[in-house]
Chain A
């Protein structure tokens, strides 16, 4: 039943995708568009297969940076929201803090980190940048989940003379679990994009964005081969994180 439902919901986008590729191939052939302007899908596929090992290596580098940054961002985001919600009870203090973190032009930090702290042979600045972006998403969402607990639950816990730590463990944290997985679903694809953008700002000659940049002078089919890698990576991160979210939500009714 579910498989048939899946098949039925999949064929329209699949049909559209195939039609789009056919049209693309046809336009390139009919108008004789040069490969360094826009390569045909078939040429891109050939380039992808020819350079599969190389594309896979760079995808691994970018993916690992994104993963490490995601992990650090989630850990620090959760810790920071636990600490602020526990010790800063007033929302009026927390919101400007969150906005301030968000207002940092994170992208410009990478070259600074590259030049000043870690040198140009390190992947660390890229991971730090991913971490900062993920941190913000997790921090805002989890803080909200920790804070937006039902008034009845709070009165009930006070009537049990529960300590703030007990209220945190038994009410706020369980309430925020759903918010954490929602944040993860948003943050995971963002982590890939951020890792990709970070590579553009120099540093080590590795990663998908480096591959894209270095191939821009030549035939564009190689560039597009790296784009395939980037798409696959983003899709993988999204599928895993939304799968986790669905798994977590499965224990709850639809709200």
Chain B
């Protein structure tokens, strides 16, 4: 699936800084000397108050932003080369489906841009629709689907080219609580089936704990990583995991890490559910 050897790290951010509007009164240190390593197959969440730079960090990994300082390796290559090679897929809070394209055409888009022929694209689309459990929605238009279904299609699109890495920016942030929990379980199943590495930005502590092997806690002004909480809940997580004592303990641990690092008012931006 990926060219990477087992030693190659999925993501390696070294001493990355990101300053917006440098030299002006509006100068913001969104990232301040950040180091982050993600091993292949890892599920890593970035959590922190608004302005802590978690979305910036994700975009730096995606090479949508060029860091002011430091280096970023993705899949053993420069972030730029990784983007050119489509080594990662991306999903956002807005599903970002193209409303003038059918579901099938939406999933096909990254493959079109890679120059795949029609037959190969159609086979892959079928595979992806099965993966996200919407096998008969191919000819629908995006607006005919529910919010949760739209996000599933967005995930199918992000994974269509079989990238080794999936970057997600609050993908379930706009969904209701029930759909959200359901989607979290689905995502874990998809990642288990495909072996995809995930970097996941979220506002929700339980979401971060439920999904992740490691929760990266960040603080604002300037954006820094203050603590990394390992979540040893095993790989086979299901709805019962949400009742698990370890689950609650880890939620408390992440919450305290957030409070410890961020006594300021901005910590109130965190959802405590």
Query: Which residues does A use to contact B, with CB under 8 Å?
Result: 150, 152-153, 155-156, 158-162, 166, 170-171, 174-175, 177, 251-253
Contact = CB atoms under 8 A, between A and B. Distances in A.
B64 interface: yes
6 contacts: A153-B96, A155-B64, A160-B86, A160-B113, A170-B109, A175-B100
Contact of A159 (B83, B94, B98, B99): B83
A161 B112 CA distance: 12
A253 B96 CA distance: 16
A115 to B, nearest CB: 48
A171 to B, nearest CB: 7
Given A150-B94, A155-B92, A160 B109 contact: yes
A156 B86 contact: no
Contacts of A156: 90, 92, 96
A170 B109 CA distance: 9
B209 to A, nearest CB: 27
A174 B106 CA distance: 13
Contacts of A166: 113
Contact of B100 (A152, A155, A159, A174): A174
Interface of B: 59, 62, 64, 83-86, 88-90, 92, 94, 96, 98-101, 109-110, 112-113, 143, 167
B93 to A, nearest CB: 8
A152 B96 contact: yes
Contacts of B64: 155, 158-159
Contacts of A175: 100
A161 B96 CA distance: 16
Contacts of A170: 98, 109, 112
A161 B85 CA distance: 8
Given A153-B98, A170-B109, A161 B92 contact: no
A182 to B, nearest CB: 15
A67 to B, nearest CB: 29
A253 B143 contact: yes
A162 B84 CA distance: 9
A157 B210 CA distance: 30
Contacts of B59: 155
Given A152-B92, A155-B90, A156-B92, A161 B100 contact: no
Task: Please list the 4 inter-chain residue pairs (A to B) with the smallest Cβ-Cβ separation, ordered nearest first.
Answer: A152-B96, A159-B90, A174-B100, A161-B84
Contacts of B90: 155-156, 159
A160 to B, nearest CB: 5
Contacts of A177: 100
Given A155-B90, A159-B90, A160-B109, 6 more contacts: A150-B94, A159-B88, A159-B167, A160-B110, A170-B112, A252-B99
Contacts of A162: 113
Contacts of B86: 160-161
A171 B92 contact: no
Contacts of A153: 96, 98
A179 B41 CA distance: 45
Nearest to A152: B96
A153 to B, nearest CB: 6
A145 B85 CA distance: 30
Nearest to A171: B98
A166 B109 CA distance: 11
A159 B160 CA distance: 13
A160 B62 CA distance: 10
**Residue of A153, A161, A177 most packed against chain B (CB within 10 A):** A161
Contacts of A160: 86, 109-110, 113
Contacts of A161: 83-86, 113
Nearest to B90: A159
Contacts of B167: 159
Nearest to B154: A156
A177 B62 CA distance: 30
A156 B85 CA distance: 14
Nearest to A252: B99
